[in-house]
Structure 1
Amino acid sequence: MIADSIYIQDGPLYTSAGVTAGIDLALKMIEDDHGRNLSIQIARKLLVFLRRPGGQSQFSAHLAAQIATEDRIQELQHWILDHVDEDLTLNALGNRVGMSVRNLSRVFLKETGETPADFVEQARVDAARRLLEENDLPLQRIASHSGFSNPDIIRRAFMRRIHISPNEYRKRFRA
């Protein structure tokens, strides 16, 4: 079982995580049966992204930032989203909100259900995804603009989070 996939196929059975994920699943099925070109034409007519991969996580850092109820954690999440290319180590984040690393880690996990490092990585992946969709910058520059120190690290984060490489992501979602 893949807990947060947008759709899955198990033999002849398919299921999606909801209505919009159902559109992605339908585009995948059209592509499988009739080819990528028809799937792309339909996606454009529907004004939706070209099919997202089924293993893509439903998680969005921007949505997760709405979960925390503790003001300092919520403000920190929003600040992280706006500053993905800055120093986002635990020490830097703890200093930003006036908390020790240990206390920040404990409170952040309690409030959000994830570690600060997981949130930072997802925020950086989201930023990189937008850059890959919107321009032709080389991967080194996209990595830098989204807070990753080098292309290898961004590749590993993409494989962990959305199960495809940044280059494959760009091919699928470039406007």
Structure 2
Amino acid sequence: MAQRTVLVVLFDGVQSLDVTGPVEVFAGAESHTPGSYRIRTASLDGGPVRTSSGLTLVPDGALTDPADDPHTLLVPGGAGTREADARMVDRLRALAPCAERLVSVCTGAILLAAAGLLDGHRATTHWAYCDKLARDHPAVEVDPDPIYVRDRRVSTSAGVTSGIDLALALVEEDLGREVALRVARHLVVFLRRPGNQAQFSAQLAAQTAHREPLRDVQQWITEHPAGDLSVEALAGRAALSPRHFARAFRAETGTTPGRYVDRVRLEHARRLLEDTGDGVEEISRASGYGTAEAMRRAFVRTLGTSPAEYRRRFRPAHATS
């Protein structure tokens, strides 16, 4: 088995978790399968860097080191990516042809894009910087929703912990699921959060209501997707008139009750399709759709695919209920 060099780029203002999360995954894989990975860190001149949280990281060497031709070139994010250093961009551009995989965590995608390495690729980054990435680099197809995106040899991930998810996916590709599972267990994380999983849950995507009755209603919706979630029923729970409830809910959460319910139900159905062996009919009832056809229409409208196709693509073949 050929050893794969993972070269992690360091710079002042790097986000420490963007570095240490993936590094711990690859290091864990190396401990389970000796000889699988060689991990190196490098800054432009080989000197120490100060992270965005104030920690100091000492790299193994400089990015100009000829020994650094990497299999996987990993660029973390952080405040230091906001204004792309011209020397860093040039060095990434020079290193890229040597690498089989280009990987970014969080706003590391901004550096890859500045080097022209994301042109013609689908990519993501932290939700707060997706608009900037799309605006500054129109040749990049920016998808703001998934926690990570893999497009040919280029893999990009959203904020912080999604770098761990992406690194686990890469280890699974290289060494198999069993090794990735051992690493995930050691790190006490889920092995598989699918890349298509949204950066936000329904609760996070909407603002949390200020008033306690509305917050309680939000929580009740999440816990009872198959319940009566009509505006009238929800308003009754909040002890408000339907009209007052709908107006207050939108003002405090940024979305309508109906849209919030739709997102919660879709999220619940996706989770059951990914993690259980329950039939589509059963899942449609448990998620509040009532019928498989109603759920199919919701999936096609929102995700562009049917529930059956969604399960085929995103649920492991070995998964059990």
TM over 0.5: yes
After superposition, give the CA deviation of every residue in 1:38-61 in whole Å (9 maximum; x if it has no partner).
Answer: 1x2243111344543433212223
Q: What secondary structure does 1:19 align onto?
A: coil
Residue 130 of structure 1, CA deviation: 4.3
After superposition, give the CA deviation of every residue in 1:130-169 in whole Å (9 maximum; x if it has no partner).
Answer: 4345542211011101211222332344452697844234
Contact between 2:275 and 2:315, CA under 8 Å: does it hold in 1? Answer: no
> d(CA) in 2 for partners of 1:16 and 1:163?
23
Q: Give the one of 68, 73, 79 matched to 2:220.
A: 79
1:163–1:100 Cα change, 3 Å: farther
Structure 1 unaligned segments of length 5 or more: list them. Answer: none
After superposition, give the CA deviation of every residue in 1:96-137 in whole Å (9 maximum; x if it has no partner).
Answer: 323343332222122122221222122223333443455422
Q: Give the one of 163, 166, 178 matched to 1:41.
A: 178
1:59–1:156 Cα change, 3 Å: farther
Determine whether 1:126 maps to 2:126. Answer: no
Contact between 1:55 and 1:163, CA under 8 Å: does it hold in 2? Answer: no
> d(CA) in 2 for partners of 1:11 and 1:126?
27
Q: Which has the larger radius of gyration?
A: 2
Range with bigger deviation, 161-170 or 106-115: 161-170
Determine whether 1:112 maps to 2:253. Answer: yes
Partner of 1:167: 311
Partner of 1:90: 231
1:162–1:113 Cα change, 3 Å: farther
> d(CA) in 1 for partners of 2:306 and 2:169?
16
Contact between 1:51 and 1:172, CA under 8 Å: does it hold in 2? Answer: no
> d(CA) in 2 for partners of 1:163 and 1:7?
19
Determine whether 1:22 maps to 2:163. Answer: yes
Structure 2 unaligned segments of length 5 or more: list them. Answer: 1-141
What amino acid sits opposite 2:311 in the alignment?
N
Contact between 1:44 and 1:50, CA under 8 Å: does it hold in 2? Answer: yes
> d(CA) in 1 for partners of 2:168 and 2:281?
31
> d(CA) in 2 for partners of 1:28 and 1:110?
40
> d(CA) in 2 for partners of 1:125 and 1:96?
22
Contact between 1:90 and 1:101, CA under 8 Å: does it hold in 2? Answer: yes
> d(CA) in 1 for partners of 2:197 and 2:243?
31
- Give matches, 1:48-87, under 5 Å: 48-63=189-204, 67-87=208-228
Contact between 1:61 and 1:126, CA under 8 Å: does it hold in 2? Answer: yes
Contact between 2:171 and 2:179, CA under 8 Å: does it hold in 1? Answer: no
Which is strand-richer, 1 or 2? 2
Range with bigger deviation, 80-89 or 17-26: 17-26
> d(CA) in 2 for partners of 1:28 and 1:134?
17
> d(CA) in 2 for partners of 1:135 and 1:4?
23
| Percent identical residues | 40
Q: Give the one of 140, 143, 150 matched to 2:291.
A: 150
Over the aligned positions, Cα root-mean-square deviation in angstroms equals 3.3
Q: What secondary structure does 2:296 align onto?
A: helix
Alignment coverage as a number of residue pairs: 171
Which is helix-richer, 1 or 2? 1
- TM-score normalised to the size of structure 2? 0.45
Contact between 2:207 and 2:254, CA under 8 Å: does it hold in 1? Answer: no
